[in-house]
Amino acid sequence: MSAPAGIPLVDLKAQFATIANELREATVKALERTDYILGGEVAEFEKEFAAWTGTKHCVACASGTDALMLAFRSLGIGAGDEVVMQANTFVATPLGAILGGARPAFVDCDPKTLQVDIAAMEKAITQKTRALVPVHLYGQAVGKNLGAAGDGGALTTNSDEIAQKLKLLRNYGSVVKYVHDTFGTNSRLDTIQAAVLRVKLRHLTKWVDARQAAAARFHELLAGIKGVTLPAPCGKEEHCWHLYVVRVEERDRVLKQLQDAGVGAGIHYPIPCHLQGAMKDLGYRKGDFPNAEATAGKILSLPIYPEITGDQQKRVAEELAKAVKK
């Protein structure tokens, strides 16, 4: 008897199967038009994503890291300025500030929700503070479920002035070819990626609904398992469940046991930013942010995606129960 198939942490093949024909048609059309840089698909995606988010402007760029960097630069944030953010986030968050010339100022997270501790963020404000960056971690309160076929980023704003600055900054400081009004960079979303994103955007709402349903099933399946701390309730906010993160003791052992059983669990993120070697010059030390440090050793991301089945989730729950029982 063969072993059951593994359950991936993220199943992009399952997503592709549901929209394969749409993607093929869209990408071929984009290739036929041959406007590969800032082409028509990019402009259309920007219009559609701005409408979806309820904002006036969307400016697409090459990556999420660049989006942060460009946001800071568009606001004039740079050398000598500080940007306050939580320590338990992906390294791209502080890198966006550093690439713009600013200094990340870390604060701790709330031990229940794992979101930024708002009171700590307020206390961290100084005369050097130019921006606050609350990371909507794991999909709460706004989503991260629209993925390109590679890197891509986008910024939204209701300001005409900021949108114009962003368009300059992402394209060598130029709107008119070979006329460079300011110092910019090369951070343009590829037209092919825009074509892919336009297809996916049409499905995003139903994918979020499916993730919310999957999260509700996990709540029920995992509620009675001793030793598993479920994600904190969201209150009035909506959660799009980009990730479903629980907390367990002996996390590394539990993770290995799950992976050995064919369950593709993961960790987001194992090392708080202030303890990363790349951030050592900022002067932070172990113990500065105890909540972020304590949870980093317990958090465990379980498989979740729109196409995950109830049977797959039941198996994840069963394997997790076995692992924590040991």
Are the beta carbons of 159 and 57 closer than 8 angstroms? yes
The arithmetic mean of pLDDT across residues 307-320, rounded, is 98
**Which amino acid is located at 141 in the chain?**
A
What pLDDT, on the 0 to 100 scale, is given for residue 204?
97
pLDDT-derived band at 142 (thresholds 50, 70, 90) equals: low
Residue written as token pair 């499905």: 203
The tens digit of pLDDT for each residue in 86-115 reads 999 999 999 999 998 999 999 999 999 999
The tens digit of pLDDT for each residue in 183-241 reads 999 999 999 999 999 999 999 999 999 999 999 999 999 999 999 999 998 777 789 99
Would you say residue 154 has pLDDT above 80? yes
pTM, 2 dp: 0.94
Closest CA to 145 of 85, 192, 97, 215: 215
% of the chain exceeding 90 in pLDDT: 92
Would you say residue 175 has pLDDT above 80? yes
pLDDT-derived band at 3 (thresholds 50, 70, 90) equals: low
What pLDDT, on the 0 to 100 scale, is given for residue 2?
57
Distance CA 176, CA 14 (A): 42
42-51, 66-75, 235-244: which has the minimum mean pLDDT? 235-244
SS3 46: helix
The arithmetic mean of pLDDT across residues 243-251, rounded, is 98
Distance CA 149, CA 147 (A): 7
DSSP per-residue codes, 91-146: THHHHHHHHTT-EEEEE-B-TTT-SB-HHHHHHT--TTEEEEE---GGGBSS----
